[in-house]
Amino acid sequence: MEKINQHLLSPAELLELERWNTPSIYNGWEQITKLDAGKDAFNLEECRDFMPEMGPMAGYAMTVVIEPSNPEHPQRAPKAWSEYRRYIASFSGPKIVVVQDLDKPRTFGSFWGEVNSSIHKALGCIGTITDGAIRDFDEMHNVGFKAIAKRLCVGHAYSHPARWNCEVEVFGRTVKPGELIHADKHGFLVIPRQDQAQLLEAARFMDSNECQTMIAAARNVSGMPMEGILTVIDKACDEFSKRTHAKFAKKGEW
């Protein structure tokens, strides 16, 4: 696996990324990526942000696979928890733990609760994305550990790290250790390494471009006849497209 500590963005840049929602980050990313912005990098299945009031989170993926229905995992690897925690601790943050639950579409137990979220918070993690469940919702909220998950549940069953530091798939999206993630109540975006250095500037530009053209026009047409409104908006949309094209004419090279 690629060395996760080789981050491209500074803590200040990650903090600034968190000032925009995930759709705004996507708007910047689609202008710079060579991937298919219509189907790549974002979750393809519905997920739920259980702490939307915490706002967006941006961090690097740490990965783990669980199978809470299977009692053999804790018996087969009694030291797995300790080894897994050392994996989490061995890389710098901020970190988002991405958990693949092999029991889906059924749910038997949660990897997350008050204890595990508190431990992961102490190890530099800011939240999780899991296609399984969470529990101890209020306590996790009090810890300040953000969770994007499928549902709530009552117990933990045989939740145990089965394997970690590996490629996982959650909500229809493959995630590799060390990949940059931006996530909020809309879903999540897994930003490829080659797109990270340009991401913040692209998001800044697209947000400003929208505000200066289409949004400004739409909010300043009060009292105009309908034909006049359409003319103003058409002009603003053309200006938006021209600015975007001028900035990103050579995608990935500006």
Q: Residue 116 and residue 43: Cα distance in Å, rounded?
A: 25
Residue 204: inside a domain, yes or no? no
- Omega before 68 within 30 of 0, i.e. cis: no
Domain count, the chain: 2
Q: What is the pLDDT of residue 76?
A: 81
Query: Per-residue confidence of the chain (254 residues) as pLDDT tens digits?
Result: 445 556 689 889 999 999 999 999 999 999 999 999 999 999 999 999 999 999 999 999 999 999 999 999 888 877 999 999 999 999 988 999 999 999 999 999 999 999 999 999 999 999 999 999 999 999 999 999 999 999 999 999 999 999 999 999 999 999 999 999 999 999 999 999 999 999 999 999 999 999 999 999 999 998 999 999 999 999 999 999 999 999 998 654 54
If asked whether residues 149 and 48 sit together in one domain, one would say: yes
If asked whether residues 160 and 233 sit together in one domain, one would say: no
Contact criterion met (CB below 8 Å) for 125 and 145: yes
Host domain of residue 223: 213-248
If asked whether residues 55 and 138 sit together in one domain, one would say: yes
Q: Could you tell me which of 89, 95, 88 has the C-alpha nearest to residue 59?
A: 95
Phi first, then psi: what are they for 184, rounded to 5°? Answer: -160, -160
Q: What is the pLDDT of residue 78?
A: 79
For the stretch 208-229, pLDDT in tens is 999 999 999 999 998 999 999 9
Q: What is the pLDDT of residue 2?
A: 47
If asked whether residues 83 and 191 sit together in one domain, one would say: yes
Q: Residue 185 and residue 174: Cα distance in Å, rounded?
A: 19
Residue 165: inside a domain, yes or no? yes
Residue 135: inside a domain, yes or no? yes
If asked whether residues 111 and 221 sit together in one domain, one would say: no
Residue 254: inside a domain, yes or no? no
If asked whether residues 234 and 153 sit together in one domain, one would say: no
If asked whether residues 218 and 193 sit together in one domain, one would say: no
If asked whether residues 181 and 132 sit together in one domain, one would say: yes
If asked whether residues 149 and 42 sit together in one domain, one would say: yes
Residue 203: inside a domain, yes or no? no
Residue 27: inside a domain, yes or no? yes
The tokens for 238 are 């053309």
Strands (E), 32-124: 48-49, 57-66, 95-101
Query: In terms of residues, how long is the chain?
Result: 254
Residue 6: inside a domain, yes or no? no
If asked whether residues 236 and 172 sit together in one domain, one would say: no
CATH of the domain at 117: 3.50.30.40
Contact criterion met (CB below 8 Å) for 5 and 150: no
If asked whether residues 116 and 232 sit together in one domain, one would say: no
Q: Residue 33 and residue 107: Cα distance in Å, rounded?
A: 36
DSSP letter for each residue of 216-249: HHHTS-TT--HHHHHHHHHHHHHHHHHHHHHHHS
Q: What is the pLDDT of residue 6?
A: 60
Residue 97: inside a domain, yes or no? yes
If asked whether residues 121 and 239 sit together in one domain, one would say: no
Q: Residue 62 and residue 122: Cα distance in Å, rounded?
A: 15
Segment holding 215, helix H or strand E: helix 214-218
